[in-house]
Chain A
């Protein structure tokens, strides 16, 4: 018991080490999560729009849409077909080998990765809406974009938002990969302190609990959001 307490003090209290964990969590883990998610959503919307327009107009597309759709497919295939850790290292050690902006590169790499998944979330959210909705809107004389905005998106968003919440939680946990390129995120802090104090037990169990606690809180918040959405869902 005394031993555990001593280990805890060494891992978290001595030299105000808890500050390092907190800094790692807030300034790196959360910043990268939020940055990558925001970037991923922008990218995902772009890809989803291109792919949805393409798929809903089979046979009537011009070369530009076909070309953009091709790029989107290649992008999605590569991202979903290779490990995220490898993607991160390619960005850091190959593409941006002369840059040391580790956080920015992490956001970029994780955002590009996330975009491929977000695109699928948005696309399937839109595809899940009855085609009769688009037809009804168009039959009244409104344009594709207008019907999308007033009819399709408001309905699809109820499927999309909860799935985006899950994507954020996945992303939050996956940020620990940025340790390999030397970002001092929560995981890296634990690793460093473990090495310094020759004791990995407390730092590792400690951050496992910190990740877990954050995920539990985030899940709760998303649950509340989801219930709100469902209550306003009159379908």
Chain B
């Protein structure tokens, strides 16, 4: 296991997000330490995705402040593109670029942002593809891949930018059951290497095994949080008990 230090990487202060009159996140304050694996669970519509998407400003917070690595990223003067280059995101529906080969999917961002030269990016792509066992697919287009392969490529695409933190929004929810394992395996390896991770998932086994801290989100607030043992074995709030009863059958 990696040891945790107490350097706060992401500090969320009084985050509120509303879509029109619909308040989806209500005054959330939370932080993620460097190296920490935070798993976010909760019922559908509770605001998990919105919370995650606020962290890299895919959603603009209505109120509140988000400090990433010492920088206030909610400040309009912050160059959000620069910030996002250090935050990887993995989506439920993969969102690979169908007009590019697997290799191009991976090298596109590092080269276009000027972070790497073409050869460097290529070498990095080769290294990452080998690691997830998909080097033979380098010239394939995403449409020819299985869901599990697509998601592993999507993870690799994000990793190619050498991010400080990885955000996962239900990375296995769109997969056939037999492909869930191969994706979780890659995520576990990543966790063991010490990557800071925020993962929204319904995979309770993964949450118990990998999570340092579990956040239970419902109705736009973090209703309860704690270690996997606290959350799964000693849930306090009726909402969490109710939720666990439904998902742990």
Contact = CB atoms under 8 A, between A and B. Distances in A.
A146 B97 CA distance: 14
Contacts of B91: 132, 135-136
A142 B86 CA distance: 12
Among B88, B97, B108, the most chain A Cβ lie within 10 Å of the Cβ of B97
Nearest to B93: A132
Contacts of B143: 234-235
Interface residues of B, number: 31
B85 A140 contact: yes
A15 interface: no
Contacts of A146: 112
Interface string B136-173: 00000111100000000010011001000000000000
Given A133-B95, A151-B99, A235-B143, A139 B112 contact: no
A151 B97 contact: yes
24 contacts: A60-B60, A130-B93, A132-B91, A132-B93, A133-B95, A133-B97, A137-B109, A139-B84, A139-B89, A139-B158, A140-B109, A140-B113, A140-B157, A141-B82, A141-B83, A142-B81, A142-B109, A143-B81, A150-B97, A150-B108, A150-B112, A155-B98, A234-B142, A235-B143
B81 A135 contact: no
Among A60, A130, A234, the most chain B Cβ lie within 10 Å of the Cβ of A234
Interface of B: 56, 58, 60, 81-89, 91, 93, 95-99, 108-109, 112-113, 141-144, 154, 157-158, 161
A141 B99 contact: no
Contacts of B86: 141
A138 B84 contact: yes
Contact of B58 (A130, A135, A142, A234): A135
Among A133, A138, A140, the most chain B Cβ lie within 10 Å of the Cβ of A140
Among A60, A132, A139, the most chain B Cβ lie within 10 Å of the Cβ of A139
Contacts of A143: 81
A141 B240 CA distance: 36
B82 A136 contact: no
A154 interface: yes
Interface of A: 60, 130, 132-133, 135-143, 146, 150-151, 154-155, 234-235
Contacts of A142: 81, 109, 112-113
Given A135-B58, A146-B112, A141 B81 contact: yes
Contacts of B88: 139
A141 B157 CA distance: 12
Given A135-B58, A234-B142, A141 B95 contact: no
B112 A235 contact: no
Nearest to B83: A141
A135 B83 CA distance: 15
A133 B157 CA distance: 13
B49 to A, nearest CB: 11
Contacts of B87: 139
A139 B99 contact: no
B85 A141 contact: yes
A155 B96 CA distance: 12
Contacts of A154: 99
A97 B179 CA distance: 71
A226 to B, nearest CB: 17
Given A132-B93, A140-B85, A141-B113, A234 B161 contact: no
Nearest to A133: B95
B141 A234 contact: yes
Nearest to B167: A139
